[in-house]
Every structure is written in structure tokens, then in C-alpha cells.
Amino acid sequence: ITVTALQATDVNGFVKYMSAGASNQDNAIDNQSSVLGIELGINHQFNDSFSGKVTGMAVETLGSDNDCRRIIDSMKYNNPDGFSVLGEAYLKYENDNSEITIGRQKINTPLLASNPTGMTYQTLVLSGTFEALRYQRELNDASIDFSIISKYKQRTSDEFYDLGENITGDASLDMNHIAMLGYSTNINKNTEYQLWGLKAENLTNILYGDIDYKIKSNGINIDFAFQGLKQNIDSASKNVTTSEGTTVDNSSLVGAKVSVSKNGSKLMLAVSKTGDNQVILPWDGTPAFTKICVTNGLTRSIIGNGLLKYAGAYAAETNGLKLAYIQDFAKYGISGLKS
């Protein structure tokens, strides 16, 4: 639902509902509980160059059974009755080819993301947000994206945490900022690539890149892509035991995919492989083409308890394989339906 008010203000929102049941060994449902969530966003254009945005959400648990409420309680620890949180709150300046954003904001890149995949309760919570200064600029056939990030708010929390505390749950990791730089360009009409670098103080330096080549022949679209990631761990964090009982050290990720599509049908094959150590992803980046499973912790809310140490990672020495077929039924007269 989107409403335009006072010519320069847009108000948008949605309502979502989820129900969960708990069963015993005989598979009979003993308890039932539901959640109702409402999200609201307000975007105001102050003038041609300056704008601002605020988003928030409230969630209420319906039903009285505590056992069943604990199923939904993963959204907000220690508060099964419901909660309300503030999401984004930022100011933005933009001109013809660049923009600067400061404040609470969503950022989605291969190495750091507000919208992770594989979230069982993603439909009922706000995205995570970063307290950051972000500069984006469009060039002729390229774009630059640079961010300085100081704090991170988990998706169901209303409190921003220092970056080191966000990962470890305490102040043992001294990390004042993350610096991230991205560059993407088109080599020609068929080929594009992107490079991303991330430096997390006293933790890691990560370099990521991928290249995508597209061709079209006789109505058939063929897409080839390759990716690579190199992770270097700072000496201050090497050999620290993670929530999975492993240690953090240098590692890598490589991957490739190919897809063929025609007339609304698409077939895709992707492969990936991680190095001798896990690739840590404490801020929900999920770059692998295969979307291989991350270790426990990616779906954990912070809510004052902190993530387990370095939780959220691709496990070491993991081979990923993904085969997908997608059918768009628009050609059959059913617009919007895909499988």
C-alpha cells in the first residue's frame, strides 16, 4: 500500500500474518500461535537534492500458549508477546550522477547485506540496518560504491551495537569501523564484472570479484559467470574458536554458473568450493552462486546477547552444487506466476 501525501511525502506499508503449530510424537497439533506484523515507511523529499526516510515495524503474538510462542520467539528473544522496532532513519543528498546517504540504512552487497537469504522468519521482520556514511556515483559505463560503517542493528533489535560486540557479544574485539569499496563496469555489451573490497578492523580483509558474460542466439539466452573471494584474517583474530568449534584463518571461495533461457523457461547450474578454512560472513553477505548453507548463527538475533563468535560462515572445504529450473507462465497468459 503506497499513499502520496503533501506532494513530497510517500507513505507505504504492509501487513503480514504467520501461524505456527507445535505437535507431539503422534503428530497431533497440541498448540497454536500466530503473529501479526505491520511495517510502515515514510519517505519525504525536502527539495530537489535532499530527502529522508524512516521505517518501523510492530509485531504482536496472538494466542496464549507459551510452548508454541517459543517457536515464533526466535524473532525477538525474551519477548514472545510482541515488539516494535525502528528500521531505517537516514538523510540523502543526490544530484545527477551521485548520492550520499548518512544514518541508519539498508546496504546490500555481496560481502555485507541487509537482506540475507534463507531466513525462515524473514517475511515478518525488518531487514538489518547499518549506521553508515555511503557514497555512490554513476560513471559512463561504471559505478562506484564506498561506505564507512560504524554500527550494526540486527533485524529484530532496536539497538545498534559496536561492530566487534555485534560479532562476539562483548567488547573483546576492538573494531571501530568497516570500510567497503565496490566497482562495477561493462567491458562490452556482453560482459560485465564487479569488484568488492572490505576491511574490518582487527578482523579481516576480503576481496571479491565476479565476471558475467551473456550471449543471445536464435532466441536463446546463455549466461556464463565466474566468481572468486579471498579472505585474509588479521593476526589479532587468528585461531579464535568460533561458535562451531573451529578456528578462524585465511580462506577462499570460487564458483561458476551457467544458465540457458528461452521463452520464459530457464535452466541453471552452479558450483562452488570453499578453502581450507571457513569464510566468515558476520554481516549476512551470501555471495556464493550456489547459496550454499551457512553455519549456525546467521539467523540469530542479537537482542542484547550478541551473535556467537564469528557466527555466519560458509563451512570449510565445502563443495556446493545447485541445479534450478524456472518457468515463467506469462507466455501461457498467467502473468506473475513463476515456479
pLDDT tens, the chain, 339 aa long:
555 555 688 888 888 777 766 565 555 555 666 778 788 889 999 999 999 999 888 877 776 555 444 444 444 444 556 677 888 899 999 998 999 999 999 898 998 887 654 443 444 445 778 899 999 999 988 999 999 999 888 766 777 777 776 666 556 667 788 999 999 999 888 999 999 999 988 888 999 999 999 999 888 999 999 999 999 988 877 766 555 556 678 999 999 999 999 888 899 999 999 998 888 777 777 788 987 766 544 333 333 333 444 456 777 888 999 999 988 887 777 776 777
User: DSSP characters for 127-147?
Assistant: PPEEEEEEEEEE-SSEEEEEE
Cβ proximity of 247 and 239 under 8 Å: yes
Nearest Cα to Cα of residue 278 among 237, 226, 236, 323: 237
pTM beyond 0.95: the answer is no
Nearest Cα to Cα of residue 167 among 243, 92, 104: 243
Distance from C-alpha of 173 to C-alpha of 162, rounded to nearest angstrom: 10
**pLDDT number for residue 214:** 95
**pLDDT number for residue 74:** 45
Burial class (CB in 10 A: 0-12, 13-18, 19+), 155: buried
First-to-last alpha carbon distance for the chain, in angstroms, is 25
Residue 76: other Cβ atoms inside 10 A: 24
User: DSSP characters for 140-181?
Assistant: SSEEEEEEEEEEEE-TT-S--EEHHHHHHSSS-S----EEEE
